[in-house]
Amino acid sequence: MMTFKQIITVLVILLAIVPAQASGTDGHRANYQVIPLPGAIHGIKSADFALTQQRLINYPTGNRDMERNAAMLGQYIEEMTGMHLSIRPTRSTREIADNVSLLLDDKIKGEEGYRITVTARSVEIAGRTPAGVFQGIQVLRKSLPVGHAAIVHLPAAQIEGEPRFGYRGMHLDCVRHFFSTEAVKRYIDIMALHGMNRLHWHLTDDQGWRVEIKKYPRLTEVGGWRNGTTLGHNSPVNDGIRYGGYYSQEEIRDIVRYAADRYITIIPEIDMPGHMVAAMAAYPELGCTGGPYEVWQRWGVTDDILCLGKDNTLRFVEDVLAEVAQLFPGEMIHIGGDESPRVRWEHCPRCQQRIRELGIKAEGNQSAEALLQGYLTTHVQQFLSGYGKRIIGWDELLGCKVDTTATIMSWRGPEPGAQGAQLGHDVVMTPVDPLYFDYYQTSSTWNEPQAFGGCNTLKKVYDFEPVADKLPADKRHHILGAQANVWTEYITCEPQIQYQVLPRMAALAEVLWLEPQEKNYQDFLERLPRLAQIYQLYNWTYRAKSLIPEDENKD
Ligand code: TNX
């Protein structure tokens, strides 16, 4: 039998040894060098925090957003480590010790800024808003090692970050190919992991109409389906397989909520006046010739666009947008505007009559027909402002004389964006080169899934700078951020979407979170394998070869 004194001695020795071992090399240690890299990581003089199942996740009582954040953190920790932590509402900071706590702190900079404080006693994730706390949660989540553990050691530190840009977007074309609500939700999950906050959802196009509109049921009944799809890059061969699908309004609301829970705003796109053949197949009177039209089975640009000579067309556009405005609570609605050839309008007596009635005259290099598109855009802009919405559209809008409350999405290179910002438009940068993620990610394409073309490597994405050097200081605030576009002509299934966006989304995330001088590609590449382990954990497909420096991965 040991004496009481001996027991105490043994305990003291054990206590001295255990923490030393705990912070040792057992592999279960957090690493805060995540992607996107936090703005600052300062060590704190303290022992590690030992994260175990016995810890609680605290959140402020009565705050539903913070409760959801807490539940989400619990889920992430469980997925990463297998440890199940309970969540608990707390009233006072006294209860915070010994646990992981989510807090709101209005001293933190930026709407989405976060601060994580780890000491031997507690972990605090603070933000000025619940959205900021959510970003902090993502950082903590990514810092955990992947794999089952009974204990994870979190080095004592203060970690802070704030995104450089407020608009951090990913686009998804669910028209050219259709993706299930589950696949869209997984896309949202992937975005959340990367600190992205805007999903531009392309819902209508020539090849399909994918959003239920109660007033026009044929849009999805007829316009939601095509009788075949061309094989490859518009080959003469067609698979002859009926293809389609759409999202019911209930499904849309569910996805909008799912995104909002992850602080992601969805910007729906109803593309007009071009890319509208699916709607015209359902309601042929919407076109200049009256059709008949077929939901398109090829890729590219068609001359058949909405007829603006008919009052019915404008009423149709308003009715559709009224339903869309109610489905999507975000402030912006994307009204397309790209690739609208005007040959039909040139030969359409009704459109010409409209041009005369409105007194539209060609100005400089803007034809009367271009200005007719401007008339539609301005009409829609005014209509949507009644719903508290602002429009965003492709950079073609700059050639149609629209006022500066329209945000411009610069896709045909960075120049239209710079020009738009000079004129006073807000701008989202999404130049084909390097932000089209439907393009190849290597010049050695033989071993890649078929893509649109091009070559947007991980490095090119990483090196992208959204704000042009020549943009004057007083115009720079107009650049809201950037977005990668994922057109799906050649992307037929969910793993292929993931392959195209991972790991390029990681590079874009760093472009959007860090100041240019904070970026370092070599360092990014060193941090990337740990992020890829998380991709693997969730069974997401990604281009593993991109983890090797470009010059070493030529086939
Ligand atoms: C151009 S980007 C388009 C899309 C295509 C894409 C393919 C834009 C506004 N229009 O309709 O899907 O290229 O990369």
Site to probe by mutation for ligand 1, drawn from 440, 485, 486, 491 as the one with most ligand atoms within 8 Å of Cβ, is 485
Q: How far is CA 90 from CA 62, 103, 270, 306, in A?
A: 9, 10, 44, 57
For ligand 1, the distance from its centroid to the CA atom of residue 156, given in whole angstroms, is 48
Identify the residue with better confidence: 23 or 297: 297
CB atoms within 10 A of CB 61: 12
Catalytic residue among 67, 124, 160, 205: 205
Lining residues, ligand 1, CB within 6 Å: 338-339, 394, 411, 436, 438, 452, 487, 489
Statement: residue 486 has pLDDT above 50: yes
Ligand 1 atom with least separation from CA of 452: 14
Residue nearest to ligand 1 atom 2, measured at CA: 411
Statement: residue 157 has pLDDT above 80: yes
Query: What size, in residues, is the chain?
Result: 555
Whole-structure pTM value: 0.94
Statement: residue 1 has pLDDT above 80: no
Instruction: Return mean pLDDT, the chain.
Output: 94
State percent of the chain over pLDDT 90: 92
Q: Is 21 helix (H, G, I), strand (E, B) or coil?
A: helix
Residue nearest to ligand 1 atom 9, measured at CA: 338
Statement: residue 554 has pLDDT above 60: no
The answer to whether residues 30 and 81 touch, using CB atoms and an 8 Å cutoff, is no
CB atoms within 10 A of CB 82: 12
pLDDT score recorded for residue 23: 42
Ligand 1 atom with least separation from CA of 339: 10
- Arithmetic mean of pLDDT, 342-349: 98
- Where is average pLDDT lowest: 93-97, 122-126, 361-365, 504-508? 93-97
Ligand 1 atom with least separation from CA of 411: 2
In angstroms, rounded to a whole number, what is the distance separating the alpha carbons of residues 555 and 500? Answer: 19
Statement: residue 550 has pLDDT above 60: yes
Catalytic residue list contains 515: no
pLDDT score recorded for residue 4: 55
What angle, 0 to 180 degrees and rounded to 10, lies between the N-to-C axes of helices 181-193 and 249-261? 20
In angstroms, rounded to a whole number, what is the distance separating the alpha carbons of residues 526 and 524? Answer: 5
For ligand 1, the distance from its centroid to the CA atom of residue 220, given in whole angstroms, is 22
In angstroms, rounded to a whole number, what is the distance separating the alpha carbons of residues 50 and 400? Answer: 60
Ligand 1 atom with least separation from CA of 336: 9
- Arithmetic mean of pLDDT, 96-107: 93
Q: DSSP strand E in 352-440: where?
A: 390-394, 407-410, 427-429
Statement: residue 11 has pLDDT above 90: no
For ligand 1, the distance from its centroid to the CA atom of residue 551, given in whole angstroms, is 29
Place 351 in a pLDDT band, splitting at 50, 70 and 90. Answer: very high
Residue nearest to ligand 1 atom 5, measured at CA: 487
Could you tell me which of 402, 408, 415 has the C-alpha nearest to residue 371? 402
pLDDT score recorded for residue 92: 72
pLDDT score recorded for residue 6: 60
| 3-state SS, one letter per residue, for 72-122 | HHHHHHHHHHCCCCEEEEECCHHHHCCCEEEEECCCCCCCCCEEEEECCCC
For ligand 1, the distance from its centroid to the CA atom of residue 27, given in whole angstroms, is 46
For ligand 1, the distance from its centroid to the CA atom of residue 240, given in whole angstroms, is 24
Return the residue matching tokens 């031997």.
120
Statement: residue 191 has pLDDT above 60: yes
For ligand 1, the distance from its centroid to the CA atom of residue 487, given in whole angstroms, is 7
pLDDT digits (tens, 9 = 90+) for 30-53: 999 999 999 999 999 999 999 999
Residue nearest to ligand 1 atom 10, measured at CA: 338
pLDDT score recorded for residue 501: 98
Catalytic residue list contains 65: no
Identify the residue with better confidence: 241 or 551: 241
Return the residue matching tokens 């569910």.
254
- Arithmetic mean of pLDDT, 500-518: 98
Place 22 in a pLDDT band, splitting at 50, 70 and 90. Answer: very low
Catalytic residue among 177, 194, 202, 275: 275
Place 187 in a pLDDT band, splitting at 50, 70 and 90. Answer: very high
Residue nearest to ligand 1 atom 14, measured at CA: 487
For ligand 1, the distance from its centroid to the CA atom of residue 338, given in whole angstroms, is 8
Q: Is 48 helix (H, G, I), strand (E, B) or coil?
A: coil
Site to probe by mutation for ligand 1, drawn from 334, 339, 488 as the one with most ligand atoms within 8 Å of Cβ, is 339
Statement: residue 2 has pLDDT above 60: no
Which tokens go with 364? 């400089």
Residue nearest to ligand 1 atom 4, measured at CA: 487
pLDDT score recorded for residue 14: 47
pLDDT digits (tens, 9 = 90+) for 377-417: 999 999 999 999 999 999 999 999 999 999 999 999 999 99
For ligand 1, the distance from its centroid to the CA atom of residue 400, given in whole angstroms, is 19
Catalytic residue among 105, 189, 261, 339: 339
Statement: residue 96 has pLDDT above 80: no
Cα angle, residue 109 at apex, residues 97 and 259 outer, rounded to 5°: 85
pLDDT digits (tens, 9 = 90+) for 229-280: 999 999 999 999 999 999 999 999 999 999 999 999 999 999 999 999 999 9
**Sign (positive/negative) of CA torsion 43, 44, 46, 48?**
negative
Catalytic residue list contains 200: no
Cis peptide before 495 (omega within 30 of 0): no
- Arithmetic mean of pLDDT, 211-223: 98
Statement: residue 438 has pLDDT above 80: yes
State percent of the chain over pLDDT 70: 94
